[in-house]
Amino acid sequence: MDIALDLGTSYTRLRTKDEENAISEPSVIAYNAETNEILAYGEDAYQMYGRTSSKIKVVFPLEGGVIAESGLVEELVNIYMSEVCKSRTIMPRVVACIPGEITEVEKRAIVGAISSFGVRRVLLIESSKAAAFGAGLNIMSPHGVMVADLGAGTTDIAVMTLGGVSISKTMKIGGNAMDQEIIKYARRTHNLIIGKTMAKACKEAIACVIKPQEEKTFRLKGRDALRGLPKYVDVTSSDIMRAIADIGVRIISGIVDVLEDTPPELIGDIHEDGITITGGLSRIHGMKELLERETGIKVRIPRDPDDCVVRGCFVATKYIEEAQMTQSSLNPLMTVY
């Protein structure tokens, strides 16, 4: 049995067959701070975020695509893996994605968390490669392909050819950084204290990075910073655009930096085929248009961009046998553990 695993900062996704995800749940876990008993995980735990007593902790154990709380990540992986792998007599092989720029210690922490379930093999693949596979791109030919995976904790940008990465850049900014900017905006402009879930809901509802053709309104609800009483304000798409503009500019600048370092032959391929963007932030209104305007290159958003990475990890399972037998430089998978 082969399992594709996208252990993301915001969401964890598992796929065991080509058609659909077996698991797609928030990467969050709730536990009793006194007894360390796991109380909830996934969507159930996310609904508890910011609404618990002092005895219950609700945490996202991954930050920036890497492990921040190793014990909790192991618990989360074991829970999700046991849901898709009912029989413990069958030890699965797992293909998991990792950010492009990651230390050996961080890499081994991810391998250790997955291995704690009892798997036969763990194989790693960079998020940008997985996103390219999931978007239906061919990175195995001598033809340049550019992908930017815009996630919650990281933005992975890479130019790939012949199964490898030619130029890449990983930025520790993404959807979570936009949430924080919305929280700061509410406090700075309206003296309103809001939580992460409210900021995320606002981002998903009305956020944009270019001037919207139609203004949308969202009601932010929280606590008055001056009086300590409940308060709400109505914000528009243009308000949120100004709040998150800096994050959008930094992401575009990162993509431009990678383009500037790309070899001439590959840049010609990219100009012909365009840039592919995946991940949750690719859905933000205007991201595609802003990138096209700043680079002069057409931009493509594939079907279900949120699922591209896990879909690509599953596509990469067909290279497992070759990776176990040889260390070919053309194999997109990394070291076998």
For 273-311, what is each residue's pLDDT tens digit? 999 999 999 999 999 999 999 999 999 999 999 999 999
Is residue 224 one of the residues assigned to a domain?
yes
**Angle between helix 237-261 and 287-295 (nearest 10):** 40
Kindly state the helix (H) or strand (E) to which residue 217 belongs, with its residue range. strand 217-224
Is residue 159 one of the residues assigned to a domain?
yes
Is residue 331 one of the residues assigned to a domain?
no
Together in a domain, 315 and 265: no
| Percentage of residues of the chain with pLDDT beyond 90 | 80
| Percentage of residues of the chain with pLDDT beyond 70 | 99
Together in a domain, 274 and 317: no
Tens-place pLDDT, residues 81-129: 999 887 767 788 999 999 988 888 999 999 999 998 888 899 999 999 9
Together in a domain, 53 and 107: yes
Look up the pTM and report it. Answer: 0.92
**Interatomic CA distance for residues 75 and 69, integer angstroms:** 10
Report DSSP state, residue 12: E
Is residue 38 one of the residues assigned to a domain?
yes
Together in a domain, 289 and 255: yes
Q: In the numeric block, which tokens belong to residue 10?
A: 């915001």
Together in a domain, 167 and 75: no
Is residue 269 one of the residues assigned to a domain?
yes
- CATH number, domain of 114, equals 3.30.420.40
Together in a domain, 283 and 153: yes
More confident residue, 213 or 241: 241
- What average pLDDT score do residues 134-154 get? 95
Together in a domain, 188 and 281: yes
| Total number of domains constituting the chain | 2
pLDDT at 331: 85
Please report which residue ranges of the chain form alpha helices under DSSP H: 42-48, 70-84, 104-115, 127-134, 175-190, 196-206, 237-261, 264-273, 287-295, 308-316, 320-325
Is residue 74 one of the residues assigned to a domain?
yes
pLDDT at 64: 83
Which residues span the domain enclosing 52? 2-131+310-325
Together in a domain, 163 and 297: yes
pLDDT at 140: 92
Question: For residue 199, how far is the Cα from the chain centroid?
Answer: 18
Together in a domain, 168 and 229: yes
Please enumerate in sequence order all residues whose Cβ is within 8 A of that of 301, keeping only pairs 6 or more positions apart, or say none. 276, 277, 278, 282, 283, 288
Tens-place pLDDT, residues 187-229: 999 999 999 999 999 999 999 999 998 999 999 999 999 999 9
Together in a domain, 125 and 246: no
Together in a domain, 215 and 295: yes
Is residue 337 one of the residues assigned to a domain?
no
Is residue 332 one of the residues assigned to a domain?
no
In this structure, are residues 248 and 181 in contact, taking their beta carbons and an 8 Å threshold?
A: no
Together in a domain, 232 and 101: no
